[in-house]
């Protein structure tokens, strides 16, 4: 995990009283019943790679580490679906699928567990083409707070679409362990494209890079990845990953499809980037070069940390409608400068989602305070532009108050009503997502 380098935005991470390592859903259910009978908090734990403090045991209790449930079950190649236990990570699944011609594209960077990714509604670099966990989970097995086992779409069911009753699957996707423990996920798979090509393009300004992104999407290019890095971020990546890209706002791009389709996508995209003053594409065609490019992108977190050795990091995570991206990024960079903060920007700009990787001296409370005020201003800037305070990291601890501002008290009351209906004793990951009520 990268827990050691993470600075949580909310309270400090608290250890649980006990950690249990169940081997099967029946054990999870039996343990949950014990907790339920004794009023013990239950904290589900996958890989601990979440960024919003979701696995902290604020009230003590029992951490359910699910790493021993690590089987890939029921691969249906011809139907493009598979079921996994919670100990299976996305890289483990893709390694398992290697010979099949299929893959699971949702890619949050960290090698997270797939059931944890379902619990936190993860997404990442491929979401612009393949969607987030919301669009890619077909069914979940969930253990409720009282030990009851449910299958959100019915046991073993895996139709590609359904209108049968309330959408329980997408109620548990993104519930951050506060409604139940996910013990199996049935996932959509995709065929590995015939051709995959990556490219890097440098721009004279943030506006030019983001304008290109918007125009590529408006032109209907089915781009697989379109990632923005500001000049601070690309400089950090150059140093950390021994690269030599120009130190200006940059897009990392990837195209998937048939050979001809990819060629057409590339030509159209290059026309657009060049019309915005972008550089010629620097290509990554073979798998090795592509992997090193995306490794550099995924190592952005460590590259940012390396800018200030001994510091910790916290990643902001706002998401706005595409047309608002240039303004919010420009204003945010001004805010960083004015407040003397280190916060390289990287983002899934095809979705309107971007992160400032805030690098903070853990021994400097004044700086931490400035970061805190900055992140609140950034979230409110996104809210003022019809956006959200979290595109993919979730609410966890630090964004509970912002969630109230975002959805309003009537929607918060509905969320609280759902929580009370499913977990009346407030045992499931207590204190996350929703703020404790006034006593």
> Binding marks (x or -) toward its own copies, 342..371, rule CB under 8 A?
---------xxx------------------
Question: Rule CB under 8 A: which of 131-170 touch its own copies?
Answer: 131-132, 134-135, 144, 148-168, 170
Question: Rule CB under 8 A: which of 202-241 touch its own copies?
Answer: 214, 217-220, 222
Nearest by Cα to 341 from 362, 317, 367? 367
Burial 180-207 (b: 16+ CB within 10 A, else e): bbbbbbbbbbbeebebbbbbbbbbeebb
> What is the smallest separation between the CB atom of 148 and its own copies, expressed in angstroms?
5
Number of helices followed by number of strands (H, E) in the chain:
15, 18
- Interface residue with its own copies among 87, 116, 391, 431 (CB under 8 A) is 391
Q: Quick one: 118 or 206, whose CB is closer to its own copies?
A: 118
Question: Rule CB under 8 A: which of 395-424 touch its own copies?
Answer: 395, 399, 403, 406-408, 410-415, 417-422
Q: Rounded to whole angstroms, what are the CA distances from 110 to 48, 114, 116, 254?
A: 10, 11, 12, 19
Binding range to its own copies, per CB under 8 A, among 38-46, 56-64, 73-81, 242-250 = 73-81
> What is the smallest separation between the CB atom of 292 and its own copies, expressed in angstroms?
26
# residues contacting its own copies (CB under 8 A): 96
- Strands annotated E in 85-218: 102-103, 137-143, 149-151, 181-188, 190-191, 195-202
Q: Quick one: 72 or 144, whose CB is closer to its own copies?
A: 144
Q: Quick one: 253 or 395, whose CB is closer to its own copies?
A: 395
Q: Quick one: 268 or 306, whose CB is closer to its own copies?
A: 268
> Binding marks (x or -) toward its own copies, 299..338, rule CB under 8 A?
------------------x-xxxxx---------------
Binding range to its own copies, per CB under 8 A, among 11-19, 30-38, 58-66, 389-397 = 389-397
Q: Quick one: 150 or 330, whose CB is closer to its own copies?
A: 150
Burial 30-69 (b: 16+ CB within 10 A, else e): ebbeebbeeebbbbbbbbbbbbbbbbbbbbebbbbbbbeb
Give residue 290's region: left, alpha or beta (phi > 0; psi -120 to 50): alpha
Q: Quick one: 18 or 75, whose CB is closer to its own copies?
A: 75
Q: Does 66 bind its own copies (CB under 8 A)?
A: no
Residue 181 near residue 64 (C-beta atoms within 8 A): yes
Q: Quick one: 159 or 204, whose CB is closer to its own copies?
A: 159
How far apart (Å, rounded) are the C-alpha atoms in residues 282 and 268? 16
Q: Quick one: 273 or 388, whose CB is closer to its own copies?
A: 388
Q: Quick one: 68 or 261, whose CB is closer to its own copies?
A: 261
Tokens of 46: 């996958």
- Strands annotated E in 189-327: 190-191, 195-202, 225-229, 250-257, 282-284, 312-315, 318-319
> What is the smallest separation between the CB atom of 412 and its own copies, expressed in angstroms?
8
> What is the smallest separation between the CB atom of 78 and its own copies, expressed in angstroms?
4
Tokens of 120: 């936190």
Q: Rounded to whole angstroms, what are the CA distances from 435 to 76, 340, 431?
A: 41, 31, 6
Question: Rule CB under 8 A: which of 30-49 touch its own copies?
Answer: none
Binding range to its own copies, per CB under 8 A, among 1-9, 285-293, 337-345, 384-392 = 384-392
Q: Give the phi and the psi of residue 300 in degrees, each rounded to 5.
A: -55, -40
- Interface residue with its own copies among 13, 72, 171, 247 (CB under 8 A) is 171
Tokens of 287: 């798998």
How far apart (Å, rounded) are the C-alpha atoms in residues 303 and 424? 44
- Interface residue with its own copies among 123, 125, 248, 269 (CB under 8 A) is 123
How far apart (Å, rounded) are the C-alpha atoms in residues 203 and 212? 10
How far apart (Å, rounded) are the C-alpha atoms in residues 308 and 140? 42
Q: Quick one: 334 or 386, whose CB is closer to its own copies?
A: 386
> Binding marks (x or -) toward its own copies, 99..118, rule CB under 8 A?
--------------------
- Strands annotated E in 16-175: 18-20, 42-45, 62-65, 72-76, 81-84, 102-103, 137-143, 149-151
Question: Rule CB under 8 A: which of 246-265 touch its own copies?
Answer: 257-258, 260-261, 264
């Amino acid at each position: 995990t990268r827990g050691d380098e993470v600075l949580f935005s909310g309270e400090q991470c608290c250890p649980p009283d006990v950690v249990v390592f169940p081997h099967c859903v029946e054990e999870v259910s039996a343990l949950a019943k014990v907790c339920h009978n004794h009023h013990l908090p239950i904290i589900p734990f996958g890989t601990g790679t979440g960024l919003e403090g979701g696995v902290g045991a604020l009230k003590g209790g029992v951490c359910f580490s699910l790493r021993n449930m690590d089987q890939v079950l029921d691969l249906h190649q011809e139907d493009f679906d598979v079921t996994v236990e919670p100990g299976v990570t996305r890289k483990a699944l893709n390694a398992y699928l290697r010979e099949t011609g299929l893959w699971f594209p949702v890619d949050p960077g960290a090698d997270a567990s797939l059931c944890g990714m379902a619990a936190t509604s993860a997404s990442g670099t491929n979401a612009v083409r393949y969607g987030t966990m919301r669009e890619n989970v077909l069914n979940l097995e969930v253990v409720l707070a009282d030990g009851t086992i449910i299958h959100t779409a019915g046991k073993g069911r895996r139709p590609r679409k359904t209108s049968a009753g309330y959408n329980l699957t997408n109620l548990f996707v993104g519930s951050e362990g506060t409604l139940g423990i996910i013990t199996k996920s049935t996932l959509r798979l995709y065929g590995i494209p015939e051709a995959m090509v990556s490219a890097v393009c440098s721009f004279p300004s943030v506006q030019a890079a983001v304008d290109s992104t918007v125009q590529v999407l408006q032109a209907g290019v089915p781009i697989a990845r379109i990632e923005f890095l500001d000049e601070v971020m690309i400089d950090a990546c150059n140093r950390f990953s021994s690269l030599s890209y120009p130190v200006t706002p940059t897009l990392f791009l990837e195209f998937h499809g048939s050979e001809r389709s990819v060629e057409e996508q590339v030509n159209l995209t290059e026309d657009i980037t060049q019309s915005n003053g972008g550089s010629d594409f620097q290509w990554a065609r073979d798998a090795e070069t592509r992997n090193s490019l995306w490794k550099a992108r995924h190592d952005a977190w460590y590259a940012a940390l390396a800018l200030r050795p001994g510091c910790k990091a916290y990643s902001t995570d706002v998401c706005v409608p595409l047309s608002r991206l240039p303004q919010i990024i420009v204003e945010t960079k001004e805010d960083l400068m004015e407040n003397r903060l280190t916060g390289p920007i990287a983002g899934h700009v095809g979705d309107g989602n971007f992160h400032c990787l805030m690098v903070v001296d853990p021994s400097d409370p004044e700086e931490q305070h400035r970061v805190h005020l900055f992140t609140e201003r950034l979230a409110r800037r996104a809210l003022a532009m019809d956006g959200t305070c979290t595109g993919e990291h979730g609410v966890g601890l630090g964004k509970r108050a912002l969630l109230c501002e975002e959805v309003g008290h009537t929607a918060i009351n509905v969320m609280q009503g759902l929580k009370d209906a499913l977990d009346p004793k407030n045992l499931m990951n207590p204190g996350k997502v929703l703020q404790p009520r006034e006593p």
